[in-house]
Amino acid sequence: MSIKEHELYGTILATGPFKEHNFFFEIQVGDWTVSRKRIDLVTKTNNQLIGIEVKVADWKTSLKQAYSNLFAVDYSYVAVWHDTIPKMNLNIFDEFGIGVLAVNDTCDVIQKARKSHLTVKEKKKYVKKQCEIQEILLCQNS
């Protein structure tokens, strides 16, 4: 069975640990310069930002991206297709406090994220603003 990355999104949104919250997609992390870096999914809870990098199988790349997200959000997760979990080195995710979600028919927490101590206030503020802009645009279009 060949699963595409975007096919995981629906399950994460509907059944994941943040299903009660609004999600924002492909959020840019900075306007310091022309930046191509985007976080796949971002959600807000109180004043905290949660970033999720979604990958079907390439957990090593998702780890790098999730690590980089630690500078822009409060909690950083990766979400992967459930078959990928046994192949992953979960200790390294734990070492950096990166959470892990397994996606199948449901989205389950394998490892909870810890609060990032690397978050840069300015970057977080920018990500938050990008979410707000997306929210306004969605309201206008609906």
Partner 1 sequence: MPELLIRLNIGREMSWLEDSNIDNFSIIAYSTILESFPKKLTTTLLKIGKPYIIDPFTHIFGYEVKDISEKRWFPKLMHAYGLDYIIPSDKNTIPLSKLLDTKKQPTKDLKSFVENVMVYQRNAIQDVYNEISEFEEFEGKSEHTTFSPKCILAPYFYLGYDSEDWIKVNIHCIKSAVSMKQNKEKVYAVILIDKMILGISSDIDEIIKNYDIDGIDGYFVWITDFDEKTARTAELQAFIRLVEQLSKFKKPIYNMYGGLFSFLLHTKGITGACHSICYGEHKDPFLIGGMLANVRYYQYDIRAKIPYSKIHEIETTLALTKCNCEYCNELPKARDNIGKQMELCGKHFLLMRTKEITEINTATSKVLTNMKEMYEKSEKNDAVSAYKSFYGQLETWVKVFGYNAKL
Applying CB under 8 A, the residues found at the interface with partner 1 are 29-30, 32-35, 37, 60, 63-64, 67-68, 71, 92, 95-96, 118, 120, 122
Cβ-contact 77, 90 below 8 angstroms: no
Q: How far is the CB of 16 from partner 1 (least distance, A)?
A: 23
Cβ-contact 42, 27 below 8 angstroms: yes
Nearer to partner 1, 64 or 115 (CB): 64
Instruction: Say how many C-beta atoms besides its own lie within 10 A of residue 67's C-beta.
Output: 19
3-state secondary structure of 105: coil
Q: How far is the CB of 135 from partner 1 (least distance, A)?
A: 23
Pairing outcome for strands 107-111 and 23-28:
unpaired
Nearer to partner 1, 30 or 83 (CB): 30
Q: How far is the CB of 141 from partner 1 (least distance, A)?
A: 29
Q: How far is the CB of 33 from partner 1 (least distance, A)?
A: 4
Nearer to partner 1, 13 or 30 (CB): 30
The pair of three-digit structure tokens given for residue 31, joined into one six-digit string: 């306007």
Nearer to partner 1, 34 or 139 (CB): 34
Radius of gyration of the chain, Cα coordinates, nearest whole angstrom: 14
- Residue 26 φ/ψ region, left for φ over 0, alpha for ψ in the -120 to 50 degree band, beta for the rest: left
